[in-house]
Amino acid sequence: MGCEVSGSIRKVLVDLPAAEDGWPPVEAESLWALAVEGGYRIDNIPFYAVGLNYGDVVALRDADSDLPKVDRILRYGGHTTFRYILDSNLDDEHHAMYDHLREMLRKLGCTFENASETLYAIDLGPEVDCIRVFQLLELGSKWHVWDFEGGPCR
């Protein structure tokens, strides 16, 4: 089901749960959202907002403010988000494993955004084999290349 574009792109804010274990390291995340019929479509990959994905259409609180907050998801966009934190001390062998795994994920159709040298968000469009991506992410974790979280597959 497509969304008709009815406005411009803007920043929106997602409140995040309190960090008891230090994660996430922020209290809120700002995302780009595009005004569409009936709401705002998330237009980048979330790094910290678990359960929210690229393409989801959301309702906003205080929509007239400069930085409105996401209130709830109105429609899922069919995408899935995973995140990984790269081990910052990779040796040459593990860095080669990382390059190989990332290329395999890219070939499956994944797209990436990075928040830092080590934090990456991965978008899986509806056509991407989510189970295969999960298996590759597990392999990277087993090889001590990264830690990851995300899903569920949509």
CATH number at residue 142: 3.30.70.260
Last residue of a domain, one of 37, 57, 75: 75
Q: pLDDT at residue 106 above 90?
A: yes
User: Which residues span the domain enclosing 126?
Assistant: 80-150
Unique residue bearing structure tokens 């406005």: 7
What is the sign of the dihedral through the CA atoms of 30, 31, 35 and 37?
negative
Last residue of a domain, one of 49, 75, 101: 75
Q: Assess whether 67 and 11 both reside in one domain.
A: yes
Q: Assess whether 28 and 52 both reside in one domain.
A: yes
Q: Assess whether 21 and 68 both reside in one domain.
A: yes
Residue 3 confidence (pLDDT): 45
pLDDT in tens, 57-68: 999 998 888 899
Report angle CA 111, 79, 102 to the nearest 5 degrees. 25
Residue 7 confidence (pLDDT): 65
Identity of residue 83: R
Q: Assess whether 68 and 86 both reside in one domain.
A: no
Q: pLDDT at residue 4 above 50?
A: no
Q: How many domains does the chain have?
A: 2
Backbone φ and ψ for 141, nearest 5 degrees, come out as -70, -45
Confidence (pTM) = 0.88
Task: Return d(Cα 35, Cα 58) in angstroms, integer.
Answer: 10
Q: Assess whether 91 and 112 both reside in one domain.
A: yes
Across-strand partners of 34? Answer: 9, 41
The DSSP result for 7-43, as a single string, is EEEEEEEEE----SSS-SSSSEEEEEEEEETTEEEE-
Q: Assess whether 90 and 121 both reside in one domain.
A: yes
